[in-house]
């Protein structure tokens, strides 16, 4: 690890903690009436990338529906700020509940419209799906990583959990598959240091649930798209 990487990571860490607690205090003082989360989150994510000299390229192949469930592969802590940068406003990201206790960012997440997923409790995980369903019914979009955790290695995919695809079928909302390439070099697995580099995100055409007989076939189609495209980059 270079000295520049170490310094940038320390600066980014300080920024994350200070900005997180500052926003949390503002939310508390305003009694939840401060409705600036989405632009503030995008500004925060852009600052992180700028501080750490991360270049983001984004390609979409078709127009984006007004409302959708976004899914992507997951290999790094850097995936979430990348998603915040590119996703439309009112997209509620589902994240692992362990982040609720992270310094700085935890206080923001607990007071954000994002949805905490408790992976170790079946009952609490079900409540997260209910919250996602309610968000969709209120007109919001959802973003999640259907593997439920990080991939074993870049270019591979773990089996998909069915939550996103069941929601898609039940609520008749399209799913938009995406691939994230390069974040494994920005924040490597088992590391907290942020390296400079380039990340590529590609957003593919929406898949509509009425074209599939059940959630399992929709899941398989999405997984095949993501896996095929990942193999083009990592083969």
176-233 pLDDT per residue, tens = 999 999 999 999 988 889 999 999 999 999 999 999 999 999 999 999 999 999 999 9
- Residues 77-94, mean pLDDT to the nearest whole number: 92
Q: Which of the two residues, 87 and 121, has the higher pLDDT score?
A: 87
pLDDT score recorded for residue 145: 95
Burial class for 39, CB neighbours closer than 10 Å (0-12, 13-18, 19+): exposed
- Domain extent at residue 216: 3-234
Q: State the total domains in the chain.
A: 1
* Alpha-carbon gap, residue 62 to 204, rounded angstroms: 7
Please, which residues have CB within 8 angstroms of residue 121's CB and are 6 or more apart in sequence? none
Residue 34, pLDDT > 70, answer no
pLDDT score recorded for residue 146: 94
pLDDT score recorded for residue 36: 78
Alpha-carbon separation of residue 65 from 8, 62, 69, 164, 165 (angstroms): 37, 9, 10, 17, 17
pLDDT-derived band at 31 (thresholds 50, 70, 90) equals low
pLDDT, tens only, 116-167: 998 777 787 888 989 999 999 999 999 999 998 888 788 889 999 999 999 9
- Residues 84-111, mean pLDDT to the nearest whole number: 85
pLDDT score recorded for residue 49: 93
* Alpha-carbon gap, residue 68 to 147, rounded angstroms: 18
179 has which bridge partners?
202
* Alpha-carbon gap, residue 217 to 12, rounded angstroms: 41
pLDDT score recorded for residue 1: 72
Helix residue spans in 64-186 (DSSP H): 79-86, 105-110, 122-137, 163-171, 183-186
What region, left, alpha or beta, does residue 139 occupy, with left being phi > 0 and alpha being psi -120 to 50 degrees?
Answer: left
* Alpha-carbon gap, residue 10 to 16, rounded angstroms: 10
**Among 63, 102, 96, 233, which Cα is nearest to 157's?**
233
Tokens of 183: 């974040």
* Alpha-carbon gap, residue 30 to 151, rounded angstroms: 39
Q: Chain-centre distance of CA 224, in angstroms?
A: 20
Classified as helix, coil or strand, 182 is coil
Altogether, the residues listed in the chain come to a count of: 235
Residue 235, pLDDT > 80, answer no
Most confident of the ranges 19-23, 80-84, 94-98, 108-112: 80-84
Check which CATH number belongs to the domain holding 169 and give it: 3.40.1130.10
List, as one string, the DSSP characters of 1-61: --HHHHHHHHHHHHHHHHHHHHHHHHHHHTTT----HHHHHHHHHHHHHHHTTEEEEEEES
Phi, psi of 121 (to 5 degrees): -125, 115
* Alpha-carbon gap, residue 223 to 146, rounded angstroms: 9
* pLDDT averaged over every residue in the chain: 90
**Among 147, 155, 141, 224, which Cα is nearest to 183's?**
155
* Alpha-carbon gap, residue 193 to 100, rounded angstroms: 20
pLDDT-derived band at 75 (thresholds 50, 70, 90) equals very high
């Amino acid at each position: 690890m270079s000295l520049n990487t170490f310094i940038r990571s320390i600066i980014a860490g300080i920024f994350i903690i200070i900005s997180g607690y500052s926003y949390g205090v503002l939310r508390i003082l305003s009694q939840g009436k401060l409705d600036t989360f989405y632009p503030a989150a995008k500004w925060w994510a852009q600052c992180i990338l700028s501080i750490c000299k991360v270049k983001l390229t984004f390609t979409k192949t078709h127009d984006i529906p007004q409302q959708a469930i976004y899914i992507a592969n997951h290999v790094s802590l850097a995936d979430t700020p990348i998603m915040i940068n590119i996703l439309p406003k009112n997209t509620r990201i589902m994240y692992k509940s362990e982040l609720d206790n992270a310094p700085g960012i935890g206080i923001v997440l607990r007071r954000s419209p994002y949805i905490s997923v408790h992976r170790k409790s079946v009952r609490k995980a079900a409540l997260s799906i209910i919250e996602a369903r309610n968000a969709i019914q209120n007109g919001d979009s959802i973003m999640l990583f259907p593997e439920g955790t990080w991939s074993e290695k870049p270019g591979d995919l773990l089996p998909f959990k069915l939550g996103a695809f069941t929601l898609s079928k039940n609520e008749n909302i399209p799913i938009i598959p995406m691939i994230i390439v390069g974040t494994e070099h920005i924040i490597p697995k088992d590391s907290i240091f942020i390296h400079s580099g380039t990340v590529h995100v590609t957003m593919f055409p929406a898949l509509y649930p009425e074209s599939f007989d059940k959630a399992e076939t929709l899941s398989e189609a999405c997984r095949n798209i993501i896996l095929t495209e990942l193999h083009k980059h990592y083969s």
